Structure 1
């Protein structure tokens, strides 16, 4: 039937689902074991939410289900493309994906710790940076004692690698 013969009130509202963390085309979706566990836990929570919906209004229920299904579709795609990185296979003296790095930044006396993780696991507040972030790219393949320089508009920021742990 043509959409011209459908009442305006009957038109399905298309849910707007925020995209997942950006992963550029052609870039492998690397994840840590913790990262894949988080994705699978998120999937379980969404499926549970879907199964336990208690919405009486059928139209509202359909909208909520569409939203959950759209989120699940994005999540399932991310899980299907995930490549778990075995951290034990890395040279333990170089910064690679999954490394927990202790850094001295510039002239700061307080040391900072960051872990290089997958895009979905990244959370700067928890010290987890995405492997595609400029800082992670700058630090990759460096060793303890080496320095990496990030060129900023007003200054250069120097990162000295103090410790690498997997």
Structure 2
């Protein structure tokens, strides 16, 4: 059996304006601050002599590769991303950028914001538009019931609140 795996599906090209600003700020920080600092440290380590046994040199080379890899990813990703800056034409339906409150059959309510794949933030309850839960919610309205297969198993969820401007209260 070989190690070949099919390529991962391409992530959606959408991002919020805040997400794009964060990615640009990360790029600028890496390019203008972090990378020059690592290059200076690498040059100092290289000047110490034998590079084959110089742990500082090896570490800085690895760190520089990681920074360059991230810069390359950010450059490519920022070129294809499209900012979804305006609210949808029909704000009564779930689309990109929406805050959605769902309630399961036990009455437990949870809220999520549907964002781009580059913005996922679990503590803030931001989930990718490509996630199974988000895909099940897309285009639905308050009161609609969706069935989705999650890692915990099959769940039946009812949409109880929907907003685009700010996170809804769970009591809405």
TM over 0.5: yes
Segments of 5+ residues of structure 1 without an aligned counterpart are 1-21
Which residue does the alignment assign to 1:15? none
TM-score by length of 1: 0.76
Picking from 107, 114, 117, the partner of 1:116 is 114
- The count of residues paired between Structure 1 and Structure 2 equals 143
Matches of 1:114 and 1:154, distance apart in 2:
17
Residues 133 and 28 from structure 1, CA distance in 2 versus in 1: closer, same or farther, beyond 3 angstroms? Answer: closer
Q: How does 1:153-164 map to 2 (within 5 A)?
A: 156-164=154-162
Which residue does the alignment assign to 1:81? 80
Which residue does the alignment assign to 2:143? 145
TM-score by length of 2: 0.73
| Structure 1 residues 104-163: Cα deviation after superposition (integer angstroms, max 9, x where no partner) | 122134x21100000010122321110111100000000011111114699631111111
Taking only aligned residues, the RMSD between alpha carbons, in angstroms, comes to 2.3
Matched, 1:52 2:50: no
Q: Name whichever of 146-155 and 32-41 sits farther off.
A: 146-155
Which residue does the alignment assign to 2:4? none
Segments of 5+ residues of structure 2 without an aligned counterpart are 1-6, 52-56, 165-172
Instruction: Please give the secondary structure, in 2, of the residue aligned with 1:157.
Output: strand
Residues 45 and 155 from structure 1, CA distance in 2 versus in 1: closer, same or farther, beyond 3 angstroms? Answer: closer
Which residue does the alignment assign to 1:98? 97
| Structure 1 residues 33-86: Cα deviation after superposition (integer angstroms, max 9, x where no partner) | 121112112112212201233512136244433331121001111111111112
Matches of 1:153 and 1:84, distance apart in 2:
30
Residues 157 and 63 from structure 1, CA distance in 2 versus in 1: closer, same or farther, beyond 3 angstroms? Answer: closer
Q: Is the 8 A contact 1:90 1:96 kept in 2?
A: no
Matches of 2:107 and 2:160, distance apart in 1:
13
Matches of 1:35 and 1:72, distance apart in 2:
16
Q: Name whichever of 75-84 and 47-56 sits farther off.
A: 47-56
